[in-house]
Amino acid sequence: MIYKSIRQLSEAIQSGEITPTELTQTSLKRLEKYGPILNCVVTITEERALKQARQAEAEIKQGKYRGPLHGIPWGGKDLLATSGGIPTTWGAYPLRNQQFTQDATVVRRLEKAGSVLVAKLAMIELAGGMGYRQPNASFTGPCATPWSLKHWSGGSSSGSGSAVSAGLITYSIGSETWGSILGPSNNCGVAGLRPTYGRVSRHGAMALSWTLDKLGPLCLTADDCGLVLEAIAGPDPADPSTAPENWSYNLNERDFKLGIIKGVLEEKQEAIAQNFSEATKTLEKYCTIEEIEFPDFPYGSVTRTILNGEAAAAFDDFTEKGLAAELTAPGDKYGPYVRSVVLAKDYLRALRLREKMCRIAEDIMMGYDAIIAPTSSNTAHPINQPFPTNRPWAYGDIMGAVGNGAGLPSISLPSGFSDEGLPTGIQIMGRAYDENTILSIAKMYQEKTSWHLRHPEMFQA
Amino acid sequence: MNNSKTEKELMFKLVEVKYGDRLDSEQLAAIKTRIDRIMAVIDEIRAVPLENGDEPFNVFKPYRRD
């Protein structure tokens, strides 16, 4: 039952081939065995998991089937509040014992769907908000990609990517402010969906940047991402930024029109560029692909100033109390103080420019179903080395700057491997609220490729 | 308009005055470098002309419970 999709497990559960308890116990054992090797787990939630699994089993026996996630084990990035004495550490040593009395909305919705929470997953401390410069930036240690223990899983949703890739859980929930779902998806060779901003409630999730944070699933397949998103999406009175409409997962098989930004392969690692070119050949079987150009505009600086200003405010109390000194990454111990220099008028300037950025993006993207690009400039970084000074995924990343600054949805899919055996990814970014379009393109891509069916050998038993 | 050397120095001084007692000389030097970077980013957005009618892309709606 390892490395099965949600639909496959759902069928197996409904037919009685496997019970939720058996599935959960398998997951718990694997988390115990492999979690420490990967540094992908903060807390195994065994008691809660077994209780939820037994409840799922009883309900299903009585014919009360809640849907495809019923009885399926999942893990949550450790910024999602969980009640019942389960710590929610935010990856930060000074908050290692932090507890909340209520579950985050996403956690409640997955419980309502009958899914089984088996673990709180490792993350970069404070979701990378202090400006970390190396993989070892969490009190749980640097998280590895299951494809190579010498290479980083990516962050900040490190454990969310790693645990799915290693087959420890069926799916996870991560978060992205700028790169934190797509990056681990790339490095760990899994599918990761960053929904439109506001599609999923952020209530009960640690805030790094209130207008940039998005919660989304990391799974083995794009189809799984659609199923999970349907369970967690929807308006929430506790989060006024949520979109007022409900959302249903509906696929659409047709020919699509895609754009590729001119120069998108510049300064990309050879394997990344090569695999992206191969991916576009596959996509051309059912898509028209054209080159597009974005006008000159400080996209990165707009999004970065918003992030800097909001992060400074979000962690103001934490910073003023001097708690940064107890963080793991050396740069994080002083990083928050730097953001004091973002003046209110500059933050507001960035918000004013955001409107222009959103209109530029929409004017271009209206002519297309989606824009595609490599998910990352590089394969997974060595786990014991600091990042290069100009992190490729932080600067010059127009897809990330526009995608996150404008709140657009994007999905990363595995697109192949490098000569070192490290995964590469392709991202498909859509217009606001077009998750079904990008999921449709993604599912069709995965029907024509088999990268998502390959799994790291070390974890197949 | 570009950030002057003076503004960067003032920003660094602000951090040093407020938080210097928590930071060693190596950290302060690193902060100076990071401030340069943040100010370069801010320079870029200050260079884009805006008009009074260009509002922030956040809409404030007064709250009412009922």
Confidence of residue B64 (pLDDT cuts 50, 70, 90): confident
For the cut 60, the answer to whether the pLDDT of residue B2 exceeds it is no
Residues A203-232 have a mean pLDDT of 98
**B14 vs A contacts (CB less than 8 Å):** 340-341
| Global model pTM greater than 0.95 | yes
Report the half-sphere exposure of A22 (CA within 13 A, side-chain side): 9
For the cut 60, the answer to whether the pLDDT of residue B1 exceeds it is no
**Would you call A211 and B55 a contact, using CB atoms and an 8 Å cutoff?**
no
Task: Tell me the pLDDT tens digit for each residue of A331-376.
Answer: 999 999 999 899 999 999 999 999 999 999 999 999 999 999 999 9
Give the chain B residue nearest A390 (alpha carbons): B37
Q: Are A438 and A371 in contact (CB under 8 A)?
A: no
Query: Which amino acid would we find at residue A94?
Result: P
Q: Token digits for A155?
A: 């962050």
CA separation, residue A18 to residues A53, B18, B60 (Å): 12, 60, 51
Contacts of A450 (CB under 8 A, 6+ apart): none
**What element of type H or E holds A257?**
strand A256-261
Closest to A455 in 3D by CA, of A119, A162, A143: A162
Predicted local confidence at residue A335, as pLDDT: 94
Alpha-carbon Rg for chain A, nearest whole angstrom, is 20
Query: How do strand A214-219 and strand A191-194 relate by DSSP bridges?
Result: antiparallel
Count of positions (residues) in chain B: 66
CA separation, residue A137 to residues A104, A201, A342, A407 (Å): 24, 27, 24, 26
**ipTM of the complex as predicted:** 0.93
- Please tell me if residue B42 touches chain A, with a CB cutoff of 8 Å: yes
d(CA A166, CA A189): 10
Task: Tell me the pLDDT tens digit for each residue of A415-427.
Answer: 999 999 999 999 9
Nearest CA of chain A to the CA of B49: how many Å?
9
d(CA A276, CA A283): 10
Positive/negative CA dihedral, A238, A239, A244, A249: negative
Give the chain A residue nearest B10 (alpha carbons): A341
- Please tell me if residue A212 touches chain B, with a CB cutoff of 8 Å: no
d(CA A456, CA A167): 9
Task: Tell me the pLDDT tens digit for each residue of A228-241.
Answer: 999 999 999 999 99
In the sheet with A116-121, reading across from the earlier edge strand, the strands are A41-44, A116-121, A73-77, A171-176, A214-219, A191-194, A410-417, A423-430, A370-374, A256-261, A287-292
Give me the percent of chain A exceeding a pLDDT of 70: 98
- Please tell me if residue B58 touches chain A, with a CB cutoff of 8 Å: yes
Helix spans in A255-393 (H)? 270-283, 299-314, 316-320, 335-338, 344-365
Residue from A315, A337, A340 whose CB has the most chain B CBs within 10 Å, to mutate: A337
Rounded to the nearest 10 degrees, the angle between the axes of helix A158-165 and helix A20-38 is: 120
